[in-house]
Each structure stands twice: as C-alpha cells, then as structure tokens.
A = this chain, B = another copy of it.
C-alpha cells in the first residue's frame, strides 16, 4: 500500500497542517487533564506542558477557534468551547491520527513481516511516498523508540524486538521483572501529590470515561500510570527501560482488540495498588504489581 504524497498536499493547503496538528495536541492534552468547556487555555501553561514556546501554541489555538472548539477574546486569551470528550472535538484529534498514519502503516508492515529487516531510505521513500525530510523525521522518531537502528553503511535495520511473534509475551516478562523490583528499591517513594493525581485520573477513567476513550488513549493512560510509579524508585534507568518497552507495546496495541470489562478490572487494580502504595507497604505493593502484570489486559492478537 502506498500513501499519497503528503508534501505536495501541504503546500497546496492554506489551512496549515502544522496548525491543525498543534490544535490536536492541545485538545489531547485538555482531554488528558480532564478539562471542561469554559476552562481557560493559558498559553504559557500549554507551552510548558508540550515543551514548546508560545508561538506555536498560538497557532494551535487559532486553529481551534476556527474549528469552533475554542473561543478567544482580545487580551483575554482563549477558553475551551466544547468538552474535549464530546463528539465535536473528534475532528481536531483526528488531525493527529492522520499524521500518524504512515507511522502506523510502517509499524503494521514490520509486525506482519511485510518489510525485510534491512531497508534503505530510498526504498522506504518510494514505498510510502515520503520526501527525504519527512522520512528522516520518522526514522529519527522510530530510532528513538528503539525499533530501528542505522547500519554503519547504507540503510537501517529493524530490531528483532518488533518483528518477533513472541514480542508481546517477552515485553510482559520483562515488565514483570523490573516493575516490582523498582518498588522494592531502597528509597522508593511516591509523593502524596502524585498519588492523588494518579488516583484522580484513574478514578475518572473508571467512572465512565473509559467508554469514550480510544484504544490509543486507554493505552497511553495505562503507560503513564505505570511510568509514574516506576519513577518513584528514583532511578531513571528503570523509567527509561519501561518507556522503551511501552513504546514498542504501543505498536501491538494497534492490532489488539479491546475488552472493556477486562479494562475496568485493570483500572480497579490500579486504584487498589495506589491504596497500598499510599500506606507505604512496598513489599505488598510489589507483590500486587507482579500479579497485576501477570493478568492480560488485552486478549487476542490478530
């Protein structure tokens, strides 16, 4: 399958793809933060959260206004016009997804072994209809996620981590080692405000938001939860290792189908874990975490 030439499209459109993308980022953030219609969208705060400066945020806000999702008044900034969970917010979020399409296609092709382990840039450019610049950004990103690496000469090589069919089980086994171990590290501690924040978010998901979330969002939320906890060990190597596993697990998520009941149980376990962590019974928490990771969240791989 060959994607259409997006570089030519971009120059033709005046709606600026970049701005729409930024709008999507802002909406996704608002959604994660649980914001409601009427909440203020403060430029600097958004900029900090997205690791950008105010200029691009501004573009995104204007795009949101154009889409009717935000209202702005001079010198008073912008305000959310719709709930980020409402149907009206979907198109903005879709802008991100469109941007992810090639990425997802490649991920799928690798998972299904439709691509050889070693590939050249030129081959990928042809196959997916990308410019060199677009491809390079993409490869940089994939490399950062750790499932492709440059060869010394030409070309790139996909990691065996991805192409293997057992990868999912292996990721699980790895997590089952590092996550409980992190909790057992001497000096493990989770600040109260983190616990509160995590509980609040998990509770919100549990209390019905789950049904409105996409698979991607559910997955993201789960990753964030586990990453915040492992961060408590105060050892960045644990966090970093989990992040990498998660970035690869995300690829599988595309082809796993969801079982909302199982997810509800999963979230309940998160809440239970937080209770134990709050009282600092870390041995018990590690044990709980180990058992939590045994249970499958999603079943059935294509």
Q: Which residues of A contact B (CB under 8 A)?
A: 50-53, 56, 140, 143-144, 146, 149-153, 159-161, 164, 167, 170-171, 173-174, 177-178, 181-182, 185, 235-238, 240-241, 244-245
Contacts and interface: CB of A to CB of B under 8 A. Distances in A.
Report copies per complex: 2
A51 B151 contact: yes
A159 B177 CA distance: 23
A149 B153 contact: no
Contacts of A160: 236
Contacts of A140: 140, 143, 150
A302 to B, nearest CB: 21
17 contacts: A51-B152, A51-B153, A52-B152, A56-B153, A143-B143, A143-B144, A144-B149, A144-B150, A146-B240, A160-B236, A164-B236, A171-B237, A173-B185, A173-B237, A174-B235, A174-B241, A177-B182
A245 to B, nearest CB: 6
Interface centre among A144, A152, A160, A240 (most CB of B within 10 A): A240
Contacts of A173: 185, 235, 237
